[in-house]
Structure 1
């Protein structure tokens, strides 16, 4: 696929120790780029526009990169490549020995975010490390209440908890990877749509290298309304099936797999599944019970894959 490149004035000749890799499609990454620019460290930023086709957004991103002291490149694609292939393409433009995958809707929680990653590289040269994410800077909104409750329960976990299942808590929202590790294990481009390509990558990598977990969080600002969460789960069912086929021995220990296995025996699943979804989308219902219903809905979708 053809790509258009834009480099800022600091790009040429730079020799960074860390490449920050930021894909986006439709989202505006400028806030993140401005926050990263506050730390003029030995890092570069490579941004991938994965087929947004919005000239105004392109102009804003170029302007953000122009004012950044960090060496920066924008890669613009005419058509969407997808999450796995897009991140693999980002790596092809990276020049450092370590890559930091950072989603465009993240915001570092510390003013020393990049320096913490660089210190870890200097001290340990880790193969893979995940910094975690939070909701600390995400503004409360009623239509995000369900996502906030679900993420707070299962995703916003301290390093010592994540380290109990290191491969499970590997997300490209805040993920450090050493160059030689990624050269051996890239993202599987057979995944399509949303979900599981980063966790599956973590399963493969964990067979060969340790996965380090630290507390160097970034806030997930891009919380979704409940209908978007449901749509993403519907997209992810085929990806979950791909993970089960390749890593059943690992994923069979996950609660989502065990719940799907139980629901596979339930009769008339396609009749009652929409009712569970409807309850999960009902904003007047208690958030805790809605979160349970949404997890149950996901398990009912995944039952087709187990």
Structure 2
């Protein structure tokens, strides 16, 4: 697929130690770019507009990029490639020895966010490292309350907690990867839609290299309404089946897999599964019960794959 490139003036002569790779589709990454550009560092940024189709946003991005001292390249696609293929494409434009995959709806929690990553590279040259994410900068919204509760429970974990299952907590929201590691293990472009392509990548990589977890978090600003969470889980069922087929020994230890195996034996899933979803979407129900129902709904979807 052809791509349109826009480079600012510092791009041509830069010799970065770290390439920050940011894909987006529909989101506006200007606030994130402006935040990153405040840090003086040997860093370049590569942006991938994965088929947004918004000429006004593209023009505003180019105007911002042109005035920033950090070397930045904007890659614009007319048609969406998807999460795995898009990130592989980002790597093809990166020039540094380490890549930092950072989602466009993230906001660094520390003013020394990039400096911390560069210091880690200088100190230990890690194969893979995940910095974690938080909800510290999220403005509370009623329609996102379910996602906030679920993320706070299972995703916003310390480095010590994540290190207990290092391959499980590998997400492209804040992920450092050394060039030679990615050259050997890229993202599987057989994944489609939402979910699991980064975790599956972590499973493959963990067989060959250590995965380090540190506390250098960024806030996940892009929380979703409950209906969007449910739709993403529905999209992810086929991806989960792909992971189960490739890594049964690893996935079998996950609670989501064990729950799916139990629900697989329960008859009439087509009748009771929509009722669980309806309860999870009910804003008047208690939040802890809704969160449990949404996790149960995901397991019921995944029951078709185990």
* CA–CA distance in structure 2, aligned partners of residues 140 and 102 of structure 1: 23
* CA–CA distance in structure 1, aligned partners of residues 65 and 292 of structure 2: 42
Deviation at 1:63, TM superposition (A): 2.0
Q: Tell me which residue corresponds to 2:120.
A: 120
Per-residue CA shift, 1:109-159, capped at 9, x if unaligned? 000000000000000000000000000001000000000000000000000
Residue 48 in 1 paired to residue 48 in 2?
yes
Gaps of 5+ in 1: none
Q: Tell me which residue corresponds to 1:191.
A: 191
Per-residue CA shift, 1:182-231, capped at 9, x if unaligned? 00000000000000000000000000000000000000000000000000
Equivalent position SS for 2:247: helix
Q: Tell me which residue corresponds to 2:133.
A: 133
Q: How does 1:1-306 map to 2 (within 5 A)?
A: 1-306=1-306
Deviation at 1:64, TM superposition (A): 2.3
TM-score by length of 2: 0.99
* Number of positions where the alignment pairs a residue of Structure 1 with one of Structure 2: 306
Deviation at 1:62, TM superposition (A): 1.2
Deviation at 1:107, TM superposition (A): 0.2
* CA–CA distance in structure 2, aligned partners of residues 47 and 22 of structure 1: 5
Deviation at 1:66, TM superposition (A): 1.7
Deviation at 1:60, TM superposition (A): 1.7
TM-score by length of 1: 0.99
* CA–CA distance in structure 1, aligned partners of residues 89 and 220 of structure 2: 23
Gaps of 5+ in 2: none
Deviation at 1:40, TM superposition (A): 2.0
TM superposition outliers: structure 1 runs of 4+ over 3 Å: none
* CA–CA distance in structure 1, aligned partners of residues 79 and 267 of structure 2: 42
* CA–CA distance in structure 2, aligned partners of residues 61 and 305 of structure 1: 41
User: Are 1:40 and 1:69, in contact at CA under 8 Å, matched by a contact in 2?
Assistant: no
User: Are 1:46 and 1:90, in contact at CA under 8 Å, matched by a contact in 2?
Assistant: yes
* CA–CA distance in structure 1, aligned partners of residues 235 and 8 of structure 2: 36
User: Are 1:135 and 1:219, in contact at CA under 8 Å, matched by a contact in 2?
Assistant: yes
